Structure 1
Amino acid sequence: MFRPTLSALALVTAFGTAAAAQDASTVVATVNGTDITLGQMAAMKQALPPEMAQLPAEESWELLLDEMIRQAAIADTVAQNLSPRDEAVLANQRRDYLVRSAMESIADFEPSEDEIQAAYDAAFPAEEPQKEYDADHILLETEEAANAVIEELAGGADFATLAEKRSIDTASGTNGGDLGWFTLDRMVPEFSDAVAAMEEGATSDAPVQSQFGYHVIKLNGTRDVEAPALDEIREPLIQQIRRERVAAEIERIASEADVQRTEDLDPSLLEQDILGME
């Protein structure tokens, strides 16, 4: 039977230690002096479509590394002579990634049962039934265009036909302006306030302005709905709590940041060839 020598054991131990020492900074290739690391390969693998991510490790390794070597070689041809547009786009992409990474980190927590219960109670107050609204709308860019539609409706025009022809909300417009059943908290406040004040069957007699434009609204009906059991909507409540935590943290961070705006810059500068592309 084979009896390992001390030197063989030392070699195995050294190899095992080296293998265990591999991490994201491990260099897997160098192209014109630029390192490609194990971490960069792992990040690219995470971005692969599912069918490619299931490839055997050896095949996946070769495909990824070959592609990254090609990319590095091509990138090297412009890396030392970046244009203003190159630098601006790279800076924006870096900032965008860091923002998404920060938001994922903020949202990486499990709400407590008290937080989930509080979110449920806020969404479904025990003292009043939940009400849903069935409404159609026509969204216009200007108040004048909205008033023109209201006049046509008053003259007997068909709401659904006008929605299909005039609404800039093409998603609902192709369905005659139909928004389906919704609760008020799903809509922007201006829209919700207008709908809540309307009688069933009525059409708004004045445009309703929101951040999206000018709405002409038709309220088809309302109904009371029973509140779902907490466990039926636990996951949506958890996602809502996370979104609210992220939004609150974004506001806090932004409000505490040391911001110094450069004054007296002409907004029309953005219309000029700042990036030197013309």
Structure 2
Amino acid sequence: MKKILMGSMVAFALLQGVSFAKDYAKVNGKSITEKDIAPLMRSLPGVAFEQLPEDAKTQIINQAVERKLLIEQAKKDKIQSSKEYKDALVAMEEELTLEVWTRKQIEKIKVTDSEITQFYNQNKTKFVQPEMVKASHILVASENDAKAIIAELKKAGKNTSARFNEIIREKMQNGSAKDGGNLGYFAKNQMVPEFANAAFKLNKGTYTATPVKTQFGYHVIYVEDKKSSGTLSLNDIKGQIEQNLKIKKLQENIKKEGESLRKKAKVEIFK
């Protein structure tokens, strides 16, 4: 039952109404929209299509075009009339039915402020946050390339942050950077030691004065923000606690519902 429930949880976001108005291309008169792009972006969690460099966008669009053509060919081959297709469609319909039902169950669940506060007070040790750094980086293959980037940043003066982001875009678009971008907040143990040690030594709004060598290449790191270690406040995680308590109640409710339905049903298990 737990596996079934977790599968349903993953699908919640897919069940919300989404508009796919923008056209990126046309294939035999049919539009390539965000709906066609979405399946290809699932391999890049947390990244929006519009944030990608232009060459990466073009690559994704071309993949969507090829996917659309293959779908058209499958339809011409009458795949939709095959037994395999019909069986899969029934299975998908059953899964979707369960997902929608589960969503409606969680919408009925209420969690009170007192329940949230009680959970927080009883589990404070779980909400201790280590020192965190929010940083961006540019990764290049050679030390000289990294030194050239640092030289550019020195010319930027007070506009370091804006110039750093400009360089990321430039390097990613022309292919001279192996990687780059905003890494968000991370703890020291989430990065390779060389990178973490350099990042955590920096003050907010500063960058590495020399290239940072790791197994991946040479990095230039810019620290946007820092957070001291400490216990997260109730306000910081109230929404997260509420969602966790809802899921816990949902699991309990579904377990009870399953047991109740089983008692009323005629169940035969064959060995």
Same fold (TM over 0.5): no
Instruction: With a CA cutoff of 8 Å and minimum separation of 6, indicate the structure with the bigger relative contact order.
Output: 2
Rg bigger for which structure? 1
TM interval, shorter chain, is 0.3 to 0.5
* Greater percentage in helix: 2
